Amino acid sequence: MSLAVRILGRNGSLQERASSNTSLLLSTPSHSVLVDCSGNLQEAVHDPGLAAVVITHEHIDHVYGFPSLIHQLWLSGRMEPLKVYAPETALGIVQKLIDAFSLLSKKGMFPIELCPADAFSAGDINITPFRTDHTGDSLGLIAEADGKRVVYTSDTRPIASVMKEMSSPDILITEASGDSSAEEILIKKGHQSSKDAAELAVRLAAKRLLLVHLPDSEDERRTILNEASMVFPESGIPEPLEVFMI
């Protein structure tokens, strides 16, 4: 069995023609978990194994696609319940979006279960959340299946202490909102630099680093990748909709 990571979007708050905001789909042959809801929802909508959604925090670029996801799943004939895991603040936003679009009043709407951000299993995918330093109520996650491990930090300042369960991931996916020349500004805004991202990969003994939550400038992305690669050679910037099999 393999664990697939599909990068649905790689950008920060500003989208570009090539990519929407950062979100990803974690999949095994039988189950899938969507992490954050931005613009590219087709892969999740048409995935018969979609069992759960994780919203990492309440910021608009991570949650705005949620009502469209539910609407498209309903139009596609979904009947199975869908569980949505999120920290308390984000769950409140999700509930408001459900109410604003009267999603539960649609005829034949499938059940939507809002769940606190605790550890859970979606079939053969085990998800363990951990707190991050971005908002007062934000999280990252560890995804494991058949001995394969992915760590996704979502948006965060440099992580001071790490859980032992985060060690030796096959893939670390973390933000790099700029290079270290802008580190002071990034930290004030709750983000980290490409140098911080690469240093985290070294600390975790990651096999591979994928940089996300990127600026919309190709020149800036090139600088970010070059800086990260100097610290951690197995750094990369994923293409939108690129799939990584582990």
pTM of the model: 0.97
Is the per-residue pLDDT at 1 higher than 80?
no
Six-digit token pair at 244?
């990584």
pLDDT at residue 225 is higher than 80: yes
pLDDT digits (tens, 9 = 90+) for 104-115: 999 999 999 999
What are the pLDDT digits (tens) for 137-167?
999 999 999 999 999 999 999 998 898 999 9
| pLDDT, mean over the chain | 96
**What mean pLDDT is predicted for residues 218-234?**
98
Pairing of strands 148-152, 171-175: parallel
pLDDT given at position 176: 98
Instruction: Tell me what percent of the residues of the chain surpass a pLDDT of 70.
Output: 100
25, containing H or E segment: strand 23-27
Give me the domains of the chain, ranges plus CATH numbers: 4-245 (3.60.15.10)
Per-residue pLDDT at 39:
84
Q: Is 140 exposed, middle or buried (0-12, 13-18, 19+ CB in 10 A)?
A: buried
**Residues 49 and 31: beta-carbon distance below 8 Å:** yes
C-beta separation of 24 from 1 below 8 A? no
Which residue is it, tokens 């950062």?
22
